Structure 1
Amino acid sequence: MTANEPTARARLTRVLAQRQAETADHWVQLQRERQLYGPGMDEDALREEADGLVAALSDGLAAELPIERVVVGHPPLREAVRELSLRRARAGTSPTETSLAVLALKEALLETVEQEDLGTRALLELALVINRLLDAAGALSFETYVEGREEIIQRQSRQLLELSTPVVHLWQKVLAVPLIGNLDTARSQVVMENLLEAIQSREASVAIIDITGVPTVDTSVAQHLMQTVKAVRLMGADCVISGVRPGIAQTIVQLGIDLSDILTRATLADALATAMNLTGERNDEAEVRRLS
């Protein structure tokens, strides 16, 4: 801390308290001119964001915190910066645009203090305080942006997994999960969760896991299937695995994987016929073949 920093900070606090609206308006204007926001944000959203952050910045400066700690140590200001970054991440704004938006606030603050009747040295001291304050805001904004994008990516990945593993109500008390593509740990977890929830909500007594679209079955895939079968049984339902092609059957035998206690069928039609027998339904073979 320089000898004159408390004085410069006090001046900045006073100027910002008096010119909050002006500073926020100028910041919005700079962002609009340079298009520093994503397609999901309009001018009203920018103004609301600017008013809230500048007000929090003014309050934070008045708090008894070191200038480097004002952004992260003053909760309302910290949350305002984080919300700015998260909102822009969700709106599709790039990290470069988000960083430039924070720098635009620095520029707006500098232009605000330049309107004060101060000497060159006083302006330089104010500029140093503004730089240290907004550099901390920029660092927090970038960190939060990265976290927000990771959250969005994870949510989208989860949604894609759920879309790729639908649970189909195939018959009365009979559910089916048609699997297509590789079955890894993350996907098998989604399959298990969705299937168990559907068994409970539909009061199903038989679940069919169709692996016709699974290209290969190795030890890992077999382990995932067995875990799912065990979970289904714990829910009080029977489980049938269908789509066991000759090549997959040979691979399972060669790997020494024991599926002897699991019901397996070559086709989904055969599995549905078995499921209907298990539920006590009439086994109309022609109807089953037609629906499958």
Structure 2
Amino acid sequence: MTTRIHEILKKYPSELLDEWLTTMTASGVRRDALMKEGELRDQCADFLRLLTRALEQGNVSDTTASVYAPVRELLERLSRSRSLQGFSPADTATFIFSLKQPLFNRLRGEYVKEAEVVAEEMWCATILLDKLGLYTTEIHQRTREEVIIRQQQEMMELSTPVVQLWDRIVALPLIGTLDSGRTQTVMETLLQKIVETGAEIAIIDITGVPTVDTLTAQHLIKTVTATRLMGAECVISGIRPQIAQTIVHLGVDLADVATKSSLASAFSWALKRLNQTIGTGGQGQRALAGKV
């Protein structure tokens, strides 16, 4: 498909820019609370300039062609920034769609005596701007998904803190559902903390885990196994009566894993395991009775 649209863009750049901004204002597309007028004008001017260059090659149908690469790069930057600024996908796409009216008006005025040419050029312009508008929607959605994934990862890291309770004792309190992705984060965080502190006992507290099913139990066993491979013992605390019944009903084998009903019980078990005691003055004292 060939087009004369680039002739209009080259002949009336400033007029199209002003009319485009006016159209966005009249249709309510502009969001002055989110973007200043000067920034919007610069974006429109850059788009018109790059689109004119691309159309000089005569290609109006294939927006994936190399000549449109600068246009796509610009739209990608605009879509990502608008997504982070709070614009909706519809707002971002309509930014491109709103150029249709000024462009159609100029085409009708330029080829007033050539109705067939006007119809053909308007159809070409519609296809072109629709494709570019939809492209901004794809980028906008992709950016939102990336933000959501990043936030989920950050929340996952924050929800799996490993704390050092005592000399050679660390604890990992779990809250919420334990799925495959989170299990990997739990393992990495716990193992890294064991290396950093030289811990010999790790307490995994599941008081905040609402339910334990077969998959959750398997994830716990994997974490225990990984901890043992690092040379540390592992104890699971927070085993409530209903969770104990569920584990038995599911037939999950935790026979070789130390379990306690509370974090306090697990901590007491860990102290005895390491032959340590807590003095009455609040200071930790290491019992030497078991020293070889």
Is residue 84 of structure 1 aligned with residue 83 of structure 2?
A: no
In structure 1, what is the Cα distance between the partners aligned to 2:35 and 2:170? 43
Find the residue that maps to 2:236 and give its secondary structure: strand
CA 1:49 to 1:170, structure 2 compared with 1: closer, same or farther past 3 Å?
A: farther
Q: Is the 8 A contact 2:19 2:102 kept in 1?
A: yes
Structure 2 unmatched ranges of 5 or more? 284-292
Q: Is the 8 A contact 1:210 1:241 kept in 2?
A: yes
CA 1:229 to 1:52, structure 2 compared with 1: closer, same or farther past 3 Å?
A: farther
Q: Residue 183 of structure 1 aligns to which amino acid in structure 2?
A: L
CA 1:38 to 1:79, structure 2 compared with 1: closer, same or farther past 3 Å?
A: farther
Find the residue that maps to 1:132 and give its secondary structure: helix
Is residue 13 of structure 1 aligned with residue 13 of structure 2?
A: no
Structure 1 unmatched ranges of 5 or more? none
Quick one: which of 122, 134, 149 aligns to 2:129?
134
**Counterpart for residue 290 of structure 2:** none
In structure 2, what is the Cα distance between the partners aligned to 1:144 and 1:231? 40
**Counterpart for residue 100 of structure 1:** 94
Which deviates further from its counterpart, 109-118 or 131-140? Answer: 109-118
Q: Is the 8 A contact 1:71 1:77 kept in 2?
A: no
**Counterpart for residue 51 of structure 1:** 45
In structure 2, what is the Cα distance between the partners aligned to 1:56 and 1:12? 13
More helix by share: 1
Residues 72-108 of structure 1: per-residue CA shift (max 9 Å, x gap) = 5521112222333333222222222223222112234
In structure 2, what is the Cα distance between the partners aligned to 1:31 and 1:201? 57
In structure 2, what is the Cα distance between the partners aligned to 1:41 and 1:257? 57
Q: Is the 8 A contact 1:38 1:92 kept in 2?
A: no
**Counterpart for residue 190 of structure 2:** 195
CA 1:44 to 1:156, structure 2 compared with 1: closer, same or farther past 3 Å?
A: farther
State the shift of 1:137 in Å.
Answer: 0.9
Q: Is the 8 A contact 2:29 2:94 kept in 1?
A: no
State the shift of 1:242 in Å.
Answer: 1.0
Q: Residue 60 of structure 1 aligns to which amino acid in structure 2?
A: A
Which deviates further from its counterpart, 226-235 or 46-55? Answer: 46-55
Q: Residue 154 of structure 2 aligns to which amino acid in structure 1?
A: Q
Q: Is the 8 A contact 2:29 2:95 kept in 1?
A: no
State the shift of 1:58 in Å.
Answer: 1.6
In structure 1, what is the Cα distance between the partners aligned to 2:6 and 2:85? 32
In structure 2, what is the Cα distance between the partners aligned to 1:238 and 1:203? 12
In structure 2, what is the Cα distance between the partners aligned to 1:49 and 1:202? 53
In structure 2, what is the Cα distance between the partners aligned to 1:64 and 1:236? 68
> With structure 1 as the length reference, what TM-score do the two structures score?
0.79
Identical amino acids, percent of aligned pairs: 40
Find the residue that maps to 1:177 and give its secondary structure: strand
**Counterpart for residue 153 of structure 1:** 148
State the shift of 1:199 in Å.
Answer: 3.6
